Structures are given as structure tokens and as C-alpha cells.
Amino acid sequence: MKKALLLLLFIVITSCYQETSIIVEGDFTTSYVNDKESVPVIIKIESKITGADKYEWTFEGGSPSTSSLKNPGEVLYDKQGNYTIKLKASNADGESKEISKTVVIRDGINIDFTPEVLKSNYPPVEISINNNTLGEGLTFNWDFQEGIPVSFSGKTPPNIIFTTPGEHTITLTVSNGVESQKVTKTIVVAPLLVSIFSYEPKFENDDYQSPVTINFTNKSVSAVKYKWTFQGGNPSVSTEENPTVIFTSVGTHEVTLEASNDKTNQIFKSIVTVQPDTNLRILTNIKLGINSAHNNNNIGAMFSTVTRQVYKANEINEQNSNLIDIVFQGLNGNLAYNKFISPDQVNNYGFLSLKNAQSTIFVNSQNLCNCGLNFTEAQFDAMVNDTSIKALNISYSAAGEQQFGFTYPRIILFKTQDGRKGAIKIKYMVKNGTSSYILCDIKVQKQ
């Protein structure tokens, strides 16, 4: 009986028991990595699902496109659009839950615009803009530094005018409603047009005596074309950038330069004054050293009336040795024995020989030459042309070649190898040991 009661109790208990299933519940969240909502976009997914042991994820338009992990982590989207993320979570009890969420992927901002200079960059400069920035739902805001207009809202702005020389920025700010990007480009407006020039005569014409050859240097700014007019010049007109012109008529000559570019033009004028031809070159304060000063490279003893330069021993070379036509010999620091000597005779007077040396006749002592010469200091000082000197009979004589002592002022006459006559006036003789020297003026025919 007892056994029967226990059996009955077991049957009642087991018949009343029912198995309870595990419910799948919870959700998942999505977030934009680095808060970046425009392509490329990374979506981070975090699952908060409980009760599931199987996960079936589908990522529309994403990479990867599926996953079976509870937490699939990050999904990459590289195209704009609205995409669905689906999850089906289930367990062995047959319980399941499906969840769908939409993520919005916005167009990436890739600013692409090109400013184009119309005509030229000389002011005023007109700029057109080609905006190749792609994307839907974008807004465009433009800023034009010192431009006309200074700003614009819209994809394609009107042409912009810049009038001020220098650099100007063009800035485009593009927004997709969530993010903004900005790109700045620079255009350069050239300086304002200026017409201006300078001029300089050829070295041998630096006294502006007729005929004078003048080199014109164009210093115009922002010019591309030039129109010159030379009153009394040859040529009388020119379109060269830097012309060379010969003036033969004595007096003032107006020179006009009209400089232009494709926007404007400007005229600049100047005056060239041509002096009468005196056929006389006047050289002042020429310092010539004694032999020791020359050979020690302190003060040169050799001079060229062509280059108008004094040469020390270490400055003489093959290019200038044949141009030297005056040589001073000072035997000692007391300046007691001095003479001017012909360049082709320098090796006989304590100097090294000159290559292709000139032959110059000197009359060191007019009173000894017995040649009828008596050219005075007063005549030298008064000489403004070659009239008084060209009639002189300057020829070689042993007596006239003789040395002179410490006596100044003093006049020495000479004739160069090419027949030009001249006079030297020794103004001072300075005793300074091995660096003693004389200071003189020279007047010589140009031709």
C-alpha cells in the first residue's frame, strides 16, 4: 500500500512539471567612428543581445557584408546612401529575435575647383572658376580676398575681378550638413604698369660729346610691348626692349618710351643732352707710383688712356698690356730722378717687359729738347679742346727724353703710337719712401 501511494505521488508531480524556454531579448547600437558621417565611414556595432547563441548579421552596402559574431565590431561604408543593418539572433530553444536599423552615409567632400585667369594677370584681372566638386546635398560658400564680389553662395560663382596688385586668396567652403571642408587657392595680380628707363653712354662717349652712342635700359614694370621715339637719334624709332642709339647733333633730344600690356599703356620721357665734340679727353687726379711702389703692388706706375686705369705689376696681363701707353719711372723715394718712358722700353728701366707693348713719345723736358716746344701750365689749364695741342710738333729727341727731378708743377708732352697727342700736368710729388708717387692730370686727344 505504501509503495502504491509513493508511485501515485511521483506521477502527479511529473505530470505537473513543464520545461521553461530561454527568451532572446536586447538590442544593438551603432555609432560613427570619430563622428565621421561622410564616406569613407566606419560604423561601430555593439550587441546587447542576451539569450542567443546564434547571430546572423547582414550589412547592406558594408564591408564585411555579413557576420556571425555576437559583436561584429566595425563595418566600412565607402558609398553614400541609406543602408540597413539586420540581425537575427536565436538559440537552441527555438527562440529568436530580428532587429533592423538604418545608417545614413553621407557623400564625402572632395573639393575640386580651378581658377582661370582670363586674358592676363595684369590688373585688372578677371578670374573664372570651374567647380568640379561632386556630391549631392552640398552647400558652397566662396570668399574672394579683395575681389569684386568679395563673396558668393552657390556652386558656380560669377567671374571675379581683382584690381589690387599682389596675392589674393580664393577660398571655397563646402558642407554636407554635418561636416565642412575648406580649400584655399592663390592668384597673383601683377604690379601696375610703369613705363621708365635709364640710359648710359658707351664708355668712350661718357662725356656725351658728339657723336655719342647711348645704351638705353628699359626698367618698365608689367609691360610686354615697347615703342621708342628718339628725337635726333639714329634710329629715330624702335620697338626693341633695350635699344642702342647714336646722337650726332649737338643739343637736347627728347626720348619717349610708350610701354604697354594688353590692359593699358603709359608714356615716359627723358632728355639726352649732346655736347660739342672737343676731341679732348680730360683725366684728373691720376696717381702714379715710383718703381718700388709699382713692383710691390702698392701704387701702379702704368696707365692706359684707353681704359683710363692705373695698373700695378700684378694687374697687368695679356688683355691689357698692349693698351698701356703711359709709364712713369721714379727711381727712388726722394723723387730725384723721374721720367715718363715708352711702354716698349720698360724692361730697360726696372720693369718687366709688356707683351705687344705700345710705343709712346715723351717730352719730359721741353726746355732741353731744343724742339720749339713751350707748352705752359696756363695753357694746359685753359685747354678745353684739342686746338692748342694738335699743332704741337711732338717728336722724339734724346734731350727731350731726359729725366727731371723733384720739381712741380710740370708739363710733360706725349704722342701715342696711334698719333694722339697729349699733355700731363704733375700737380704734386709726394715723398713716402718706397710708396712715393706723383699726382697728375692728363689731357689727350680722343683720336
Residue 19 is predicted with a pLDDT of 59
- Residue type for position 60: E
Average pLDDT, the chain: 94
Residue 16 is predicted with a pLDDT of 45
- Report the pLDDT averaged over residues 421-436: 98
Topology agreement, domain 28-105 and domain 197-274: yes
Q: Is the pLDDT of residue 6 over 90?
A: no
Residue 27 is predicted with a pLDDT of 95
Whole-number Å distance between alpha carbons of 431 and 429 = 7
Whole-number Å distance between alpha carbons of 231 and 251 = 11
pLDDT 10s digits, 9-22: 444 444 444 558 89
Kindly indicate the confidence band of residue 3, based on its pLDDT and cuts at 50, 70 and 90.
low
pLDDT 10s digits, 184-227: 999 999 999 999 999 999 999 999 999 999 999 999 999 999 99
The beta-carbon contacts of 354-357 under 8 Å, at least 24 apart in sequence, are: 354/302, 354/316, 354/321, 354/322, 354/324, 355/318, 355/321, 355/322, 356/321, 356/322, 357/321, 357/322, 357/324
Residue 59 is predicted with a pLDDT of 96
Percent of the chain beyond pLDDT 70?
A: 96
The contacts of residue 68 (CB under 8 Å, 6+ apart) are: 54, 55, 56, 57
CATH of domain 28-105: 2.60.40.10
pLDDT 10s digits, 267-311: 999 999 999 999 999 999 999 999 999 999 999 999 999 999 999
Pick from 106-110, 239-243, 422-426, 430-434: least confident? 106-110
Q: Is the pLDDT of residue 1 over 60?
A: no
Q: Is the pLDDT of residue 4 over 70?
A: no
Matching residue, cell 696717381: 287
Q: Which CATH superfamily is domain 113-189 in?
A: Immunoglobulins (2.60.40.10)
What's the Rg (C-alpha) of the chain? Answer: 50
Q: Is the pLDDT of residue 425 over 60?
A: yes
Kindly indicate the confidence band of residue 161, based on its pLDDT and cuts at 50, 70 and 90.
very high
The contacts of residue 429 (CB under 8 Å, 6+ apart) are: 335, 338, 406, 407, 408, 436, 438, 439
pLDDT 10s digits, 20-79: 889 999 999 999 999 888 888 999 999 999 999 999 999 999 999 999 999 999 999 998
pLDDT 10s digits, 372-389: 899 999 999 999 999 999
pTM of this prediction?
0.74
- Report the pLDDT averaged over residues 73-101: 93
Quote the distance between the C-alpha of residue 410 and its chain's center.
54
* Pairing outcome for strands 421-430 and 410-415: antiparallel
Q: Is the pLDDT of residue 2 over 60?
A: no
Q: How many residues does the chain have?
A: 447
Whole-number Å distance between alpha carbons of 365 and 350 = 21
Fold of 197-274: Immunoglobulin-like (2.60.40)
Q: List the chain domain ranges.
A: 28-105, 113-189, 197-274, 280-445
Residue 209 is predicted with a pLDDT of 98
* Residues 246, 248, 251, 253, Cα dihedral to 10°: -30
Beta bridge partners of 101: 85
In 3D space, the residue among 238, 274, 276, 244 whose CA is nearest the CA of residue 258 turns out to be 238
Matching residue, cell 727712388: 332
